[in-house]
A and B are shown apart, each in its own frame.
Chain A
Amino acid sequence: MTPLLYFADVSFSYGDRVVLENIEFSIAEKSCVALIGPNGIGKTTLLHLAAGMLSCSSGTVWFNGSRLDSVRRMEAARQVALVPQQADVPFDFTVEQIVEQGRTPYIGLFGGLKREDRRAVERAMELTDITSLRNRVFNELSGGERQRVKIALGLAQEPRLLLLDEPTQNLDLGRRLELLNLIDSLNQEGVTILASMHDLQLIEGTFSSVLLLGPDHKLMSGSPEEILRPRILESAFDCPPRHRLTFADEPRVLLERKQ
């Protein structure tokens, strides 16, 4: 079966600075994949490449059997949605107006929202449980609510692949768990998910596989059990020697400080 997303020997550099080097991985349709790695290692760049927003310096990004860079931008935006980390809106747009922007790839420059566009917007708001916020001003929402609105915008694009850039950032524990439930339910709906994650504790149980982008530009992929191992993580994240990662009885990563 053709994978939905396939990075074939992809390298990327900003000028002289090499960010990704000979990356190779694939993501099957309907899977739920976490992308982890230390700060500044290129997770966001990788997501931008997967969304077709950047072109790789060498290698090819394949989406559903065709080269992503040969797909028209608008067409790509109907297949892949990226939910960026930041969204600061300088004007008082309401939640509904924000989510409606997700239909941009579907509507022409002169046309307005049609019935199927309205339906997609409503459905996206229902899935993310923000229907009651529709008339609120986006800028006045809490962090958790904003995250839901951003995901709703992505869902309004009706993508096959949803890319989430640090979706749990700045959320409290309860909102993080809510967000995991949301990711889980979206995945159940058939949306393929690739999310960059900082909270390693949250990965197991929700994500079916893990991509680890290490400091030497190398990529490891495997199941959470294979990747979330103290020795692998300690070296990948360059943990200071006085700390040690351990597993508790439950298979999750804990941080323990040595005496």
Chain B
Amino acid sequence: MEAEIVESAISPATSVQARNVHLGLVVCALMCLLILVLLLSIGIGAVKVPINLLLGSLFGGHSLSPNEKVILFQIRLPRTLAAGLVGAALSVAGLLFQGLFRNPLADPYVIGSSGGAVLGGSIGMFILPQFSWFGFSATAVLAFAGSATTIGLVYWLARVGGRTPIVNLLLAGFAVSTMLSYSSYFVEILGEDYGVGMRALASWLHGVIGVPSWTQLLVIAVMICLAGLFALPLARRLNTLALGEDYAHQLGVRVEYARIGVIVVGSLLTAAAVSVGGLISFVGLVVPHLGRMMMGPDNVRLLPVTALLGAILLMLTDTLARTLLAPSELPVGVLMAFIGGPFFLYLLRKTKREYSL
């Protein structure tokens, strides 16, 4: 008790200042940053197009060569947009899962939803490549199913007598997601007869944002918007759930519904991200934390900030991934692990006391 009081006396809470930051201003600033990063990202590469020329071409003053047009609008723009969408989706999924599991270390990768999405997606990719459902490929549909099933399974495994101790959850998530990742190899071997190779899967498991078609982009954009619509009311519920299940229940919240909502929406986001970018770790972990440093812990305020930050971070990382070792390309998942891994360890170290389980 004494230690607690002393500590609160010497550490002025950063989140108090963060809480008073104006949400609108932050969102505007991040939007501007997002556009800047987008322009930067499509301008950089083997063919460089400086930003002034890029803007000139947009507003009609300067015309690009046909070659440049193809590179910019058929290759780099879809890829950069995909990176942005994947980053936003994973970050918001991370935010939701952290709220649900009441643990700042939960993210889609850690609790296995990404692994489930990869397995579902690889079944779709290798075994049912022709399947399509309302324009959604088997990859997207099965990635969603895989993600939702995994979280459901992990949740069920981790639940003891009506409660979900975090240790159980993280362990179950770890075990299930590892199994799933390797099962994906198995599916890939089954799928070899169909002529899709090891490379496709490898790039999936390492997290490579290839060049998506505009249709693919549209599909994940729709999935993400749909999820975003439900994320707002869920964020409000997660604020209440932060007090604990008893509290939320006492305040009239249907805890089970909120849980199912988070699982469905989080899975939708994970599936959208995985169906384009494969397995990318740490985004969903790092970004909500950055958001909390800026905005405090209120999930409603965090939602837009997290989405924008995630988009910016992954766009930047992906640009680095394709330019650092040019002409060869680094999987963005690998680069993200280099950045996110140390951050994760830093968090673990820093929060050891608070999250001693």
Write out, one digit per residue, whether chain B residues 1-29 have a CB within 8 A of any chain A CB (1) or not (0): 10011011001010110010000000000
Stretch from B57-65, B200-208, B216-224, B291-299 at the A interface:
B291-299
A22 within 8 A of B: no
* A81-B250 in contact (CB<8A): yes
* B4-A142 in contact (CB<8A): yes
Write out, one digit per residue, whether chain A residues 70-110 have a CB within 8 A of any chain B CB (1) or not (0): 00111111100110101111111110011001101100011
* A-B pairs under 8 A by CB, number: 105
A32 within 8 A of B: no
* A137-B243 in contact (CB<8A): no
Please name all residues of chain B whose beta carbon is closer than 8 Å to the beta carbon of A88 when the two chains form the complex.
Answer: 244
- Which of chain A's residues has its CB closest to B237's CB? A109
- A104-B253 contact given A90-B103, A91-B297, A142-B4, CB 8 Å threshold: yes
A128 within 8 A of B: no
Please name all residues of chain A whose beta carbon is closer than 8 Å to the beta carbon of B239 when the two chains form the complex.
Answer: 93, 97, 101
- A93-B297 contact given A84-B246, A109-B233, CB 8 Å threshold: yes
Please name all residues of chain B whose beta carbon is closer than 8 Å to the beta carbon of A82 when the two chains form the complex.
Answer: 246, 250
Write out, one digit per residue, whether chain A residues 121-149 have a CB within 8 A of any chain B CB (1) or not (0): 00000000000000111011111000000
> Taking the nearest CB of chain B, how far is it from the CB of A236, in angstroms?
26
Please name all residues of chain A whose beta carbon is closer than 8 Å to the beta carbon of B11 when the two chains form the complex.
Answer: 140
Most chain B C-beta atoms within 10 Å of own C-beta, residue among A73, A97, A104, A143? A104
Please name all residues of chain A whose beta carbon is closer than 8 Å to the beta carbon of B16 when the two chains form the complex.
Answer: 94, 135-137
Please name all residues of chain A whose beta carbon is closer than 8 Å to the beta carbon of B292 when the two chains form the complex.
Answer: 91-92
- A77-B252 contact given A87-B247, A137-B13, A142-B1, CB 8 Å threshold: yes
Write out, one digit per residue, whether chain B residues 230-257 have a CB within 8 A of any chain A CB (1) or not (0): 0011001101101110110111111000
> Taking the nearest CB of chain B, how far is it from the CB of A77, in angstroms?
3
Size class of B's contact patch? 35 or more
Please name all residues of chain B whose beta carbon is closer than 8 Å to the beta carbon of A110 when the two chains form the complex.
Answer: 232-233
A81 to B249, CA, bound (A): 11
Please name all residues of chain A whose beta carbon is closer than 8 Å to the beta carbon of B355 when the two chains form the complex.
Answer: 90
* A73-B247 in contact (CB<8A): no
B104 within 8 A of A: yes
Please name all residues of chain B whose beta carbon is closer than 8 Å to the beta carbon of A98 when the two chains form the complex.
Answer: 243
B159 within 8 A of A: no
Please name all residues of chain B whose beta carbon is closer than 8 Å to the beta carbon of A137 when the two chains form the complex.
Answer: 8, 13, 15-16
- Which of chain B's residues has its CB closest to A83's CB? B250
> Taking the nearest CB of chain A, how far is it from the CB of B260, in angstroms?
15
A51 within 8 A of B: yes
Write out, one digit per residue, whether chain A residues 147-163 have a CB within 8 A of any chain B CB (1) or not (0): 00000010001000000
A51 to B8, CA, bound (A): 34
What are 25 of the A-B contact pairs (CB < 8 Å)? A53-B249, A53-B250, A73-B254, A76-B252, A84-B244, A84-B250, A87-B244, A87-B247, A90-B354, A92-B13, A92-B292, A92-B297, A93-B296, A93-B297, A97-B297, A101-B243, A101-B247, A105-B251, A110-B233, A135-B16, A136-B16, A137-B15, A140-B4, A140-B8, A143-B1
The 9 closest A-B pairs by CB, nearest first: A77-B252, A140-B8, A109-B233, A91-B297, A74-B252, A92-B15, A104-B251, A105-B252, A137-B13
